[in-house]
Amino acid sequence: MTADRPFFITTPIYYVNDAPHLGHAYTTVACDALARFMRLDGRRVKFLTGTDEHGQKVEQSARLAGISPQQFTDRISEAFRDMTRLLDISNDDFIRTTEQRHVRGVQALWQELERRGEIYLGRFAGWYSVRDEAFYDEGELVDGPNGRRAPSGAEVEWLEEENYFFRLSAWQDRLLAYYNANPDAVAPRSRRNEVVSFIKAGLRDLSISRTSFSWGIPVPGNLDHVIYVWLDALANYITAVGYPDSHSPEFSTFWPADIQVVGKDIVRFHAVYWPAFLMAAGLEPPRRVFAHGWWTVEGQKMSKSLNNFIPPKQLVDTYGLDPVRYFLLRELPFGSDGDFSHRAMVGRLNGDLANDFGNLAQRVLVMIGRNCDGCVPAPGELTDDDAALLDSARDLLAVVRGHMAEQAFHLALEAVWRVVGEANRYVDEQAPWVLSRKDPARMRTVLYALAEALRHLAILTQPFVPGAARKLLDQLAVPRRARHFNALADAPLAPGMRLPKPEAIFPRFVEAGAGS
């Protein structure tokens, strides 16, 4: 059993050159759902997020804002911290790359790589994109409206500098061997294939220092250079667990990370450079890197010129937090690209949440309130129909656990909603409102089965819609200590328990101006 093994999960650390938007919210919410799931499943979790604060791009943004890079990063980093509060993110740590614990760790990593002969001083001549903070080969450039550009569409500039290099070329075979031996180390499969092809095509040594600007971590022993922002940034995943103290309990408990979630835009950094840096420093690579897909908004790429970067606050103010979290995780397979549209969002909110789940909970709780003196009813003997509903609810944990192990959030939610559907059909078929007159004892059994199914659904939806699940568990009078997954089998609802007054958990979305 892996139930007791610690679980370390990370988001990318976000650049502070821009405010948080839907894309950042997506990655962070997905990690939060996984972190919450694992905690409820009994694992000791460390969930890390944070901000990436060095580099030329941030230096330029600060200059444009007319303030120092430190003031600038303090301000925007706080906006990302606010996002975690807004989205009810359960991160255990928030790292900033300007913190001393990180700076010290990165310099130690550099010295370790140097000591092992993995770094040398050379001359770099090639293309650099400040927006991507990435180096590109001649052959990778594409034609754009004003000359050649990076494959991402970003501008590139010709750069010639004295730079330190990391011997990435020497790691080609070992990386391939690693991915052969660990086929699930990069997911989904399409990304793994992309990574393996990239490595097979040949790796060149990587420039890992810059001299043309100063907003970065100084290279130990050569203060003319700052450390390349990606080497600096990637190291956050180990400096946050105490590196260079690799014998510390924190480090040995949590490294290697169980899963590092990133967008597909940065898979090369996480699945090629990062494991190479780690192996070169004598450390283990992460167990799994998952690269999810890309959101567009109303069919268009998010961009400054279209001004369609949706701030997370706008989403939450418009639709409510739980519906936003649900939509992001339910709407598309994790790994696929998708489109955020008002119509699709409202469809899910009013359909899956308000009509299907919300109504079910409301109907059952109101009937218990009216017909059972507001207390959990005592069931009589169960019929096959009752047993079938309860079995479906009890089987759900294993099904959801299987999907979460693959980061298939949409399948996990689909499975939960299949039981919601089954419970709705059961209410219609059993018609407890008719039984209340004809056969009150049978009605009590039916309402008990429904309340017990609701308890399962509420416990299992906590990772995804924590606010609504909390409300429903409160309404079912489930004590705080009986909300983890062990309690699913161990702590059924106790007949006679008094329930509070029911209250809607998923109000419908009404278009402004509609119905007036």
Residues that bind ligand ME8 in the complex, under the rule CB under 6 A: 12-15, 23-24, 26-27, 52, 233-234, 236, 262-263, 265-266, 294-295, 302
User: Which residue number, 233 or 435, has a Cβ lying nearer to ligand ME8?
Assistant: 233
CB of 96 to ligand ME8, least distance (A): 12
Distance, in Å, from the CA atom of 253 to the CA atom of 270, rounded to the nearest integer, reads 21
Own/partner pairs, 84-88, CB within 8 angstroms, 24+ separation: 84/28, 84/49, 86/312, 86/313, 86/316, 86/321, 87/25, 87/28, 87/29, 87/32, 87/312, 87/316, 87/321, 87/324, 87/325, 88/32, 88/321, 88/325, 88/466, 88/467
Contacts (Cβ under 8 Å, ≥6 apart) of 71: 62
Query: What would the two tokens of residue 140 be?
Result: 């990778």
Query: What would the two tokens of residue 513 be?
Result: 């101006």
DSSP 416-437: HHHHHHHHHHHHHHH-HHHHHH
CB of 365 to ligand ME8, least distance (A): 37
CB of 494 to ligand ME8, least distance (A): 44
CB of 69 to ligand ME8, least distance (A): 15
User: Which residue number, 295 or 509, has a Cβ lying nearer to ligand ME8?
Assistant: 295
- Overall size of the chain counted in residues: 516
Are the beta carbons of 234 and 3 closer than 8 angstroms?
A: no
User: Which residue number, 242 or 263, has a Cβ lying nearer to ligand ME8?
Assistant: 263
User: Which residue number, 37 or 274, has a Cβ lying nearer to ligand ME8?
Assistant: 274
Distance, in Å, from the CA atom of 288 to the CA atom of 385, rounded to the nearest integer, reads 42
C-alpha 499 chain-centroid distance: 34
CB of 323 to ligand ME8, least distance (A): 19
User: Which residue number, 14 or 243, has a Cβ lying nearer to ligand ME8?
Assistant: 14
Q: Which residue is nearest to ligand ME8 (CB)?
A: 23
User: Which residue number, 246 or 296, has a Cβ lying nearer to ligand ME8?
Assistant: 296
Distance, in Å, from the CA atom of 323 to the CA atom of 467, rounded to the nearest integer, reads 10
CB of 222 to ligand ME8, least distance (A): 24
User: Which residue number, 291 or 454, has a Cβ lying nearer to ligand ME8?
Assistant: 291
CB of 52 to ligand ME8, least distance (A): 3
